Amino acid sequence: MAGRFIVLLETLSAARDLARLQMIASILIRHGFGDIVQRLGMGEALSRAGRVLRWERTEELTRLEPARRYRRALEEMGPTFIKLGQILATRIDLLPPDWIAELERLQDQAPPIPFEKLRPQLETDLGAPPEQIFSDLNTESLAAASIAQVHRARLVDGSPVVIKIRRPGIRPIIEADLRLLGRLAEIAEREIPLLARLRPREVLHQFAQSLRRELDLAGECHNAERVAHNLAGLSGIKVPRVYWEWTGERINVQEYIEGIAGRDMEALRIARLDRRALAVTGAEAVFKMVIQDGFFHADPHPGNVFFLRDNRIALVDFGLMGYLSQNRREQVLSLIHGLVERDSGRVVDILLDWSDLDDAANTTLGHDVEMFINRYHSVALQRLNLAAMLLDLSALIRHNELHLPADLALMFKTFVLLEGLGRQLDPDFDMVAVARPLVREAILGRYAPDMLVRRGWRGLAETLDLLSGFPQELRRVLRSVRRGALQIHIDIDRLEGLAERLDRAISRLTVGLVTAAFIIGTAIVMHAGGDEPWLRHLGYIGAIVCGVWVLWSIWRGK
């Protein structure tokens, strides 16, 4: 009963999202992706509506490269899909460089909403008219993105602030898009081998988590304060102050940063700031966040960086963050150690662990890793381009059909962005030299006496727990065997899909039998010549309805 209720809810949800599905399909078809629409099962269901709407390819679009067509389609589909493209741009382990470069062009910009349309929500969140809280509120937006827009203001005490306001009604739109993407990801992974290798459900899970966190503007401020606490020892980094008394899920108020935008290199030159020192400071901050803290700003592009007049760097917009567990950081350090020591076996083991594969699954990985290590081992540190090395490693992963966990993909992308920004500031910037002492300290820290003792005690405690619980677990297994309750579950790929197809086939067969019963019963009543003509009509109507349903079901299932 519960299962039928869930199916009913999914059906109602799909009907509710049909208009959005039609729009998505039409955009894909116009950009030359009609074959994907067909293979995802949208084409047949929407073909009639498509003829009415005149879905046609635009020849100008189809002459463009696939990556550019895909980027333009995402832009046209709206904010959720723009955000999806930005997440895909971080997956340098899944997509080739030309696709990454094209997706990086996705700009999270949108036309600003007139302030008067924001006012009712803003007054609700502030608990008072904004003029009572801010002495100088600029109703012209400073910046507008797909989820929120920013306005400048001053507090009553004169402190300059920025107010970030979430767009009204944006959450239901995003949730509808996520429902559609979830269904399409399941179909793509099952039916299209080329897309299945990209693990669409895993990417979508990462994307949905990131997007829902970004909808919570208070969460962004929690991230900012955590980073500020972790980087308190670095005098060259500034994180904006948060004004919590006016911050919530749909609004946050932060200190306004007066500085030079990270992409304005000409203004930086005129200000005569120490560009080399700025590059080193930024690199130290990122490596500390990644290697030591495991919590890092995952989008340090020039738009989120400001250079201050006192040779400090201000980081803003903490909506997209990366997190590395202690175990993951140890794996990264082991990978680096394996590369430095030319231990290809260790590198192969880590890559296979990340992809949940065994040695037999890939016969060329060891040779490719050896070639990769030999290529970079003899390069002097000052001539090593870390971004190029990471891109080559990502190409090796793609070639061997491996994949990076989502947290590591964000880390790789962060290092690539950092390398690019560092070389913009200083063409001779050596990011590896900055990272070397931090990495050495972290590696030595793994083998420090206190860490060895701590890991030893932890392993001993886990072993003792396992041994002490073994008799009880064995007793439970034997009890299950005696009761005949011991079950062995065997999962066979696509068995669930086969069961669904059998269920549909049996349903059609059952309705077909009911239809035949209607026809035979009606014929018997007519032959008997009864006085209830309504009974004959009822039989005809039942037979027609059931017959139409069976034909439609067979046609839909191809």
* Single-letter code of the amino acid located at 471: P
Alpha-carbon span 214 to 258, nearest angstrom: 24
Residue 224 has pLDDT above 50, yes or no: yes
pTM above 0.75, yes or no: no
pLDDT at 237 > cutoff 90: yes
Question: Apex CA 451: angle with CA 445 and CA 454, to 5°?
Answer: 165
Rounded to an integer, what distance in angstroms lies between the CA atom of residue 21 and that of residue 27?
10
Highest mean pLDDT among 70-74, 334-338, 374-378: 70-74
pLDDT digits (tens, 9 = 90+) for 245-282: 999 999 999 999 999 988 888 888 898 889 888 988 98
Contacts for 139-144: CB closer than 8 Å, 24+ residues apart:
139/115, 140/112, 140/115, 141/112, 141/113, 141/115, 144/109, 144/110, 144/111, 144/112, 144/113
> Which band of pLDDT confidence, cut at 50, 70 and 90, is reported for residue 361?
low
List the structure tokens of 276: 């080399």
The verdict on whether 293 is a catalytic residue reads no
Measure CA of the first residue to CA of the last residue in the chain; give whole Å. 28
Alpha-carbon gap, residue 150 to 240, rounded angstroms: 15
How far is the C-alpha of 556 from the C-alpha of 41, rounded, in Å? 10
Pick the catalytic residue: 125, 177, 299, 368? 299
Torsion from C-alpha of 396, 399, 403, 406, nearest 10 degrees:
70
Instruction: Assign 161 to helix, strand or coil.
Output: strand
**Domains of the chain: which residue ranges?**
2-107, 111-144+147-256, 264-444, 447-477, 495-556
Which structure tokens are listed for 417?
């962005």
What would the pLDDT profile of 280-302 be if each residue is shown by its tens digit? Answer: 898 889 888 988 888 998 887 77
**Alpha-carbon span 324 to 330, nearest angstrom:** 10
State pLDDT tens for residues 75-126.
888 778 888 887 788 777 778 888 888 887 776 667 889 999 999 999 999 9
Integer Cα distance of 319 and 17 in angstroms:
27
- Residue 11 pLDDT greater than 80, yes or no: no
CB atoms within 10 A of CB 6: 10
